[in-house]
Structure 1
C-alpha cells in the first residue's frame, strides 16, 4: 500500500512549473465565472497580489482576449494593501491589480474592491467594518486566492494573528518589510510599517480557498501542510477549512514527506539515490556518523524494508559512505594523469575549457568563488559570463559617487569636465525627482550597469582571468528598467548560443538556485538550457563532451543527498573568496534584494559553505573549513 500524501493535512496539487500551476488555477477561476454566469449569478473572487499570482492573471487576461471569458459578472475583493500608500504608487496593490488584470478585462469598476491605503488613519476602522459588510452583501467570497509569506502569513496576517480576526490595520513584521523592500528601491525605510488586511476569520469564511506557492516557499509549505495548526504559521489554519487546497510546483513540494522521506509513505523502489537519501537523512537526524548506524537504527526509523531488501546494515552504510567520500575532490575539472573511476569529473581532456555562467555580476564569486579559483589555478581555460547587467541592484547613491569621481578624474588629468559635469547635474536632478516607481532613465541604468561590470571584471581578474575571458551578455529580458522583467526570448537564447559556440566548453557551471526574490536566476537557467538544447539539436559535435554543473546561490544549498561534487576549501581559501566578494562594493553593507535575510552575501556564503563542511564531518567524513557543492544536470 502506498499512501504518498498520508502526511498532508490539506489537499496538494503539484505541477512541473509555476506556469503550469497558474494555468490550472486560472482555468478553475474561469470555470467558476462561467458556471455562475450561466445561472445569472455573480462570481465573487478574493484576489491576492505579489509575484506568485502574476502568471494566473496573465492567463486570465489571455482567456478574456483570446477565448472570450467575460468578467461582467465578477465582483472582486483584494486581500490587502500597504498603509499608508497612494493608489497611484506603483508599489500599491491597487496599481498592481489594475496593471496585471483589471485594465485588460471587462470587469465593472464598481465591482472592484481593494483596501484603501490612502485613507486618514482615523477612517481605517470604519472602512474595515464596511469592507466586511460589502463582502457579506455580495454573498460571501466564492473562491479566495492566497499566496504565502516565508513566515507563513496569508494576506498580511503575520504570525500571532488571531484565527478569528477580521479586516483590520496590521503591523508588518520586519522580515516581511525586508522581503518587500525590493519594490521600494531596495530601501526598507520606504516600506510602510502597516497594512490593511482581510482577517484570517474573513478568509476562512470563503467557500473555497486555493493557496498558490512556488519554489522558494518549500520550507514554509511543509509546515503549513503537514505541521500542527498554530497561530505562529497562519496558513496552517487552512487545514480546518472544508474546501481548501494548495497548488505548488515541484521545487515547492520538495520538503513534503512524500518527496523528502518517501519510504515513510509506503512501499518504494530502493534505487541508489533513494538509499543514499534515506541513510543520510537518518544519520543526520540521529546525529550519528554513517558507519555507526545499526540495524536497530534502520528498524526504528522506518527503514526496515530497506534492511530486508538489501540485507546487512553495515554494507548499506559503506555504500553510502563511499558515495559521499568520492564526491569530495580538490580537482573540479578532474585530476589529470590518474585513473579515478568514481571521481565526479573526467580526467581527460585536461586542461578543460570551462564556461562559468553568473546570473548577476557577483553570483560567480558568492556561489563558487573557491571553485572558480581552483579551476583557474589548475591551468584550465576558464571563461566567465555575466548573464545580466544587475543594474537594478545598484543604489542611486552609488551613481552620484561614481559621477563625482568622473568629474574629479577629468580635472585630475587636465581634461575638460564640462560634459561630465552636465551629465552629473542631469543625473542628480533626475534622481532627486525620480518617480515613486523608481524606474531609472536609460543613462542611469547604463551607469549602474557599468558600475557592476567594473566590479565583476576586477573580481574575475583578481582570480586570474584575462580580460578576453570575461563576457558580459546583458540579456535583453532583464533590461525592463523595473524589478518585473520581460519574458525570456529567442534573443536571450541566441546571445547565449553564440558564446557557447565560441568557447566550446567541456564544463559549464550555472546557477541552480531558483529562490532568488526577483526570479532572475530561474530565467537565466531557462535561457541556458534552451541554448544547450538547441545546440544539441543542431548536432554540434563539441556538445557531446560538455557537462553541466549547477551551483546554488546566496539563498539556499543543495540537499546533502543530492550533492555529486564537493569542493573543499581551507581557511585561507575561504578568506580569498571573501575578498573577491568584497570587489562588489555596490552590493556591500546594505544587501539589495535581501529577501528575509539581511546579512551580506559573503556572510551567507561562508555560513552555508561551513555548514556543508560540518554536515560532511557529522556524517563521518574529513572535517574541512568549508565546502562548495555541485550537482550534475542533464540537458
Structure 2
C-alpha cells in the first residue's frame, strides 16, 4: 500500500485476450503518483520534441484533484530539469459560471496555484474559459474559444478526469458527441460532488462553461486519468460499456489515440482485474480462489457449500476445479477461510487456541491504539469493535489525527459562545471576542477561510465531542490523544502535503504507547483525501520504527478499517467482528455524541445520509453477505484487513 514513486513503475499492459471486454486502451499503474509521473513524462516529452522542431505544443488541461500530481511533476521538471514552457499553449476544459477569476473556487486561481505561477509559460498562452463574460456574450465567446484552439493547430494532448456520472469536462449525461464549447447546466450529482468545495450545495454555481465532447474528440491524443475506488464503477462502464449519451466518457471509445491511465483501485472493476477467470486461464492462488468462490456464490445466490462442479465450469473456472480436484474441496477450503475471519475477540481470546483466529492470544490484555483521521471516524467506522475492546478490558487509546475544524458549521460557534458568555456575563474580554466572531461570521463569504481564532473554536468543539464519545465508550480521557497534524491546519478544504513534523508527531506517539495492535483508516475514498494522507503518515512512521529497530514493533499487528464511504470487499476481509443489536445501538449513541456532525454534515461526500445511517447499513449489509455465503447469521459486522509492514 505504501508504494514509492518510480519512473520505472511497472505498467500493467493487458494482452489481447485480457482486453476482450475493453474498448479503450487502459494502462494500470500501482498507484496514482506513479501514474501521474507517467503522464507528466509524456507531456514533457512532447514539449521537448516540439522545441527541437521549433513548434508550439498545444495542451488541453483539466482541473480537480485528479491532475494535481501531474502538475506537481511538471513544475518539478521545470525547476530541476530546465523544462521550458515558452513554446506551450494551454486551453483549459472548463470554468464555473459565473465566476470571478480571483475566487477561491475559480479554475483560473486553481491553475495559477498548481501550475502557471511556477513555470515560464507566457501569460497570453494560458487560456481558461472566462466566467465573467456577460450572458449575452457567452455564445460569441465560446465560438471564439473554439477558433482559438483551431488557430493554434488543434490540441496535441487533452488531459481528462472523469466524473461520477461519466462526465468529461462539464459535459453532463445527455451531451452530444459533436457538442462544442458552450454554457451548460450542471447535473445534480455533479453539484453534490462539488458541494464540499463550496461549503454547501446551495453555493455551487448551477452552470459552467465547458469544451464540448466534439472539441475533446478532435484532440490528436487523449489521456483520461482516474484514481481511487470511488471511480472504479464509472471507469468500468466507460471502458467496457456500450456507447451512450448517458455516460459521455463512453464516446472516447471512438477515438483512435486515447488511453485511460488508472491506478489499481480505479481499475478494480475491470473484468480482467475483478473476475480474471472470465477473460482466460488464471494462475490460481489462495486469494484468487477465495475471491472467485465468493463471486460465484453471490452471482448464483447460493451458499458457498452448495456450489457444484457445473457452476464453476459454466463461469470459466474449470481449470480451478481440475487443479483442486472438485467443487466440494474448493467450497470447504473457502468456507473455512471465511469462518476463521469471524471473531468476537478482536484483541485475541484468552486461554484459547488462537492459531486459527485473526488475532493472537498473548498478551491477554493488549494496548490497542485506534487512529481516527477525523474526530468521529473511530466510532463511525469501528465503534462496535472499540466497545468490544473496552468491554474485554484491553487498554484502548484513540489518536485523533486532525482537528476536523473545517467541518463545523459557523452557527455551532455562535451556539457555544452564547453558552460561554451566558455564564461569564461579566467577562468583558470574552464578550469582546464574541462580538468580533459574530462580526466576522456575518460578513463571511462561502468558502472564506476562518480567522485563526474561529478555527481554534471549531477545533475545540470537535475535541469536546470526541471526549464525550470516549467517555461514553469507556475510554479514559487521558487515553484520547489529539495530534492536530499540521498538514490539515490550513483552514481551507485544500490541505498541505504531509511533512516531517506530521511523521514525527505520529512516531513519538507510537513509541510512547507501544501498542500491541493498531487500527487505522484504510478508506482512501473520502472526498478530500484526509484519510489518504493520514494513512501515509502512519505508514511512514511505522517504516521508520522498523528502520530504527524498535523492539516492540516486531509484535504489533496493524488492522485497517474502512470509513464512512465504503466497505472492504468480503474476499479481502481478514477479521470480522460481529455486532449484536445492543452494541449497534451503543455504537450509534457514540456517533450521536458528535453533535456538530449530526443531521447535516459539512462534507457528506456523494452520500447524503447521516453518518450513523451509513455505518448501520454498511455493517448490516456485511452481516447479510456473510449469512448468504452460508455463515452464521449476525445483526451486523465490522470488517478489517491486516497490513503487513515488516
- For Structure 1 versus Structure 2, the TM-score category normalised by the shorter chain is over 0.9
Counterpart selection for 2:520 from 491, 502, 510: 510
1:436 deviates by 5.3
Q: What TM-score, normalized to structure 1?
A: 0.97
**Offset from partner CA, 1:68-122 (integer Å, 9 cap, x none):** 1111111111111111111111101111111111111111121122111112222
CA contact (8 A) 2:203 2:446 kept: no
* Secondary structure at 1:5 match in 2: helix
Counterpart selection for 1:79 from 93, 101, 104: 93
Q: How does 1:423-438 map to 2 (within 5 A)?
A: 423-434=433-444, 437-438=447-448
Q: What is aligned with 1:587? A: 597
Over 3 Å counting, the alpha-carbon distance change for 1:457 and 1:544 in structure 2 is: same
Q: What is aligned with 1:520? A: 530
CA contact (8 A) 1:176 1:596 kept: no
CA contact (8 A) 1:613 1:624 kept: yes
Give 4+ residue runs of structure 1 displaced > 4 Å after superposition: none
For residues 141 and 2 of structure 1, the distance between their equivalents in structure 2, rounded to whole angstroms, comes to 29
Q: What is aligned with 1:194? A: 207
Mean CA deviation greater in 363-372 or 220-229: 220-229
Mean CA deviation greater in 6-15 or 534-543: 6-15
1:2 deviates by 8.4
1:550 deviates by 0.3
Q: How does 1:357-368 map to 2 (within 5 A)?
A: 357-368=371-382
For residues 559 and 160 of structure 1, the distance between their equivalents in structure 2, rounded to whole angstroms, comes to 32
For residues 126 and 589 of structure 1, the distance between their equivalents in structure 2, rounded to whole angstroms, comes to 45
Q: What is aligned with 2:429? A: 419
For residues 550 and 533 of structure 2, the distance between their equivalents in structure 1, rounded to whole angstroms, comes to 24
1:437 deviates by 4.4
CA contact (8 A) 1:89 1:436 kept: no
CA contact (8 A) 1:328 1:567 kept: yes
For residues 319 and 298 of structure 1, the distance between their equivalents in structure 2, rounded to whole angstroms, comes to 15
**Offset from partner CA, 1:118-172 (integer Å, 9 cap, x none):** 1222221221122112111111111000011111111011112111211111111
Over 3 Å counting, the alpha-carbon distance change for 1:64 and 1:82 in structure 2 is: same
Q: What is aligned with 2:343? A: 329
Counterpart selection for 1:34 from 39, 45, 48: 48
Q: What is aligned with 1:604? A: 614
Q: What is aligned with 1:240? A: 254
* Secondary structure at 1:196 match in 2: strand
Alignment pair present for 1:498 and 2:508 = yes
1:435 deviates by 5.1
Counterpart selection for 1:10 from 24, 31, 37: 24
Counterpart selection for 2:122 from 99, 108, 125: 108
* Secondary structure at 1:158 match in 2: coil
Q: What is aligned with 1:630? A: 640
Counterpart selection for 1:183 from 192, 197, 203: 197
> Could you list the runs of 5+ residues in structure 1 that have no partner in the other structure?
none
1:7 deviates by 2.6
Counterpart selection for 2:567 from 554, 557, 569: 557
For residues 109 and 307 of structure 1, the distance between their equivalents in structure 2, rounded to whole angstroms, comes to 64
For residues 304 and 445 of structure 1, the distance between their equivalents in structure 2, rounded to whole angstroms, comes to 60
Q: What is aligned with 2:171? A: 157
Alignment pair present for 1:167 and 2:181 = yes
Counterpart selection for 2:544 from 534, 540, 547: 534
1:5 deviates by 3.5
Alignment pair present for 1:207 and 2:217 = no
For residues 219 and 419 of structure 1, the distance between their equivalents in structure 2, rounded to whole angstroms, comes to 55
**Offset from partner CA, 1:396-425 (integer Å, 9 cap, x none):** 1211111111111213xxxx2211111111
> Could you list the runs of 5+ residues in structure 2 that have no partner in the other structure?
1-14
For residues 6 and 446 of structure 1, the distance between their equivalents in structure 2, rounded to whole angstroms, comes to 55
Q: How does 1:108-507 map to 2 (within 5 A)?
A: 108-184=122-198, 186-215=199-228, 216-411=230-425, 416-434=426-444, 437-507=447-517
1:51 deviates by 0.8
Mean CA deviation greater in 222-231 or 238-247: 222-231
CA contact (8 A) 1:2 1:265 kept: no
For residues 410 and 614 of structure 1, the distance between their equivalents in structure 2, rounded to whole angstroms, comes to 53
Q: What TM-score, normalized to structure 2?
A: 0.96
Mean CA deviation greater in 374-383 or 120-129: 120-129
* Secondary structure at 2:113 match in 1: helix
1:533 deviates by 1.2
1:295 deviates by 0.8
For residues 305 and 595 of structure 2, the distance between their equivalents in structure 1, rounded to whole angstroms, comes to 45
For residues 110 and 440 of structure 1, the distance between their equivalents in structure 2, rounded to whole angstroms, comes to 34
* Secondary structure at 2:183 match in 1: strand
* Secondary structure at 2:196 match in 1: helix
Query: CA RMSD, aligned part only?
Result: 1.3
Over 3 Å counting, the alpha-carbon distance change for 1:2 and 1:141 in structure 2 is: closer
CA contact (8 A) 2:244 2:250 kept: yes
* Secondary structure at 2:417 match in 1: helix
CA contact (8 A) 2:221 2:257 kept: yes
